Amino acid sequence: MTYSVLAVGSPTQNLSILDPASPSAEAIRGLFLLVGAILTGIFLLVEGVLIVSLIQSRRRKQAVEIEPPQVYGSKPIEIAWTAAPTMVVFVLILLVARTIWEVRVDPYNPPPGSEPLYITVIGHQWWWEYRYTSYKGKELSVITANELHMPVSDATTPRPVYLDLQSADVCHSFWIPRLGGKTDLIPARANTMWLQTNEVGVHLGQCAEYCGTQHANMLLRVYAEPPADFEKWLAAEAKPAVEDVAVKVDRAVFFSESCVSCHTIRGTTAKGIFGPDLTHLMSRETLASGMIKNTPENLERWINDPQTVKPGCLMPAFKLDEKPLKSVVRYLGTLK
């Protein structure tokens, strides 16, 4: 069985920094292309002069070897080859500074007429926690994991998403190539960045700072949705977990197992905070931080032995017997 992220979600998703879908990613692409062009120009100039002089001096057939003029200590030449690179570096610094200015945005001053969304992102080994703290000035207490939902902007209303980036353990890095540059999540420190896009769809990304065994499977999925869809999703996520009487027995089994010491299900006694919030687990398309599709079969395999799916992950295999395992899967399956 292979786990391909492309197996999940829309087929149009791509990870190219050359195809930006946000103002900050656009600024970064502009800088990349401009600096690339300047450096290519310098490369061609230097190599051109080198090749021309090689060819010329090979053509000149000289009977006796003549030592070329020695220019050691020539002031004009020393000044020229110090000043020229300094100027090039200075121009590059200015370009980079301008882009940093464009990309960095003060989260406490959203543009007038905008509908800002604030999310605290917490990096964990090896998954993402999202705490929605406010939208359009209204306080929120929605917690979810691995799949970030945000509203798209349109011509009249910008909907910037301000991220407060923190870490629960080691350094991670938040990177959605089409929505912006990488920003690190560092223990005991909060970094900020922002996302904004007009493009509806799933934007993929990935942790971009080595953070241990499953770093490569710390995948990011951003669902950019029309505001009405986003608000519907948000309202559903804000509710406590559904209590389905049809799974009363299965529910009791779940709460007798150790799952509750690591996971929260809002509205119940499950209040663990080490693992992802499961209140609306079934609203997510994937499990294991974007690795596998959220299907009953995968969920069962995952709970039975997470180590076979994501070796080294911090969820141990509880090796439940067949019956309680099925009960746990059935109960979780009701958490829409």
Choose, by CB under 6 A, the member of 32, 43, 90, 210 that binds ligand CUA: 210
Judged by CB under 6 A, the stretch of 1-9, 15-23, 70-78, 211-219 that binds ligand CUA is 211-219
Q: Which stretch binds ligand CUA (CB under 6 A): 26-34, 207-215, 237-245, 283-291?
A: 207-215
Shortest distance in whole angstroms from residue 332 CB to ligand CUA: 25
145 binding ligand CUA? (CB under 6 A): no
Question: Rg for the chain (alpha carbons), in Å?
Answer: 27
CB 265 within 8 A of CB 278: yes
Instruction: Establish if 211 lies at the interface with ligand CUA (CB under 6 A).
Output: yes
* Calpha distance 256→250 (Å, rounded): 10
Nearer to ligand CUA, 101 or 210 (CB): 210
Q: How far apart are the first and last CA of the chain?
A: 27
From residue 150, give the alpha-carbon distance in Å to each of 40, 48, 132, 218, 249. Answer: 38, 50, 10, 19, 36
Q: Does 123 bind ligand CUA (CB under 6 A)?
A: yes
Residue 163 in the binding site for ligand CUA (CB under 6 A): no
Write down the least CB distance from residue 145 to ligand CUA, Å: 14
C-beta closer to ligand CUA: residue 53 or 213: 213
- For residue 168, the minimal CB distance to ligand CUA (Å) is 11
Query: How far is the CA of 171 from the CAs of 98, 210, 227, 310, 312, in angstroms?
Result: 27, 8, 32, 20, 17
Shortest Å, Cβ 123 to ligand CUA: 5
218 is a site residue for ligand CUA (CB under 6 A): yes
CA distances (Å), origin 107, targets 61, 148, 167: 69, 18, 19
Q: Which is nearer to ligand CUA, 167 or 196 (CB)?
A: 167
> Nearest approach, Cβ of 315 to ligand CUA (angstroms)?
16
CB 211, min distance to ligand CUA, A: 3
Q: Distance (Å, rounded) from C-alpha 139 to C-alpha 208?
A: 30
172 binds ligand CUA (CB under 6 A): yes
193 phi and psi angles, rounded to 5 deg: -155, 175
Smallest gap from Cβ 216 to ligand CUA, in A, equals 8
Side by side, which strands form the sheet with 201-206? 147-151, 219-225, 201-206
Of the candidate spans 6-14, 87-95, 204-212, 248-256, the one that interacts with ligand CUA by CB under 6 A turns out to be: 204-212
Query: Applying CB under 6 A, does 122 fall inside the site for ligand CUA?
Result: no
Task: With contacts defined by CB under 6 A, name the span among 50-58, 74-82, 136-144, 208-216 that binds ligand CUA.
Answer: 208-216
Residue choice 103, 207, 219, 259 for contact with ligand CUA (CB under 6 A): 207
Distances (CA, A) of 176 to 11, 55, 172, 306: 17, 48, 13, 26
CB 168 within 8 A of CB 124: yes
Q: State the nearest-atom distance from the C-beta of 179 to ligand CUA, in Å.
A: 18
**Which is nearest to 306 in space by CA: 287, 331, 333?**
287
How many whole angstroms separate alpha carbon 284 and alpha carbon 220?
13
The binding site for ligand CUA (CB under 6 A) comprises 123, 126, 172, 207, 209-211, 215, 218
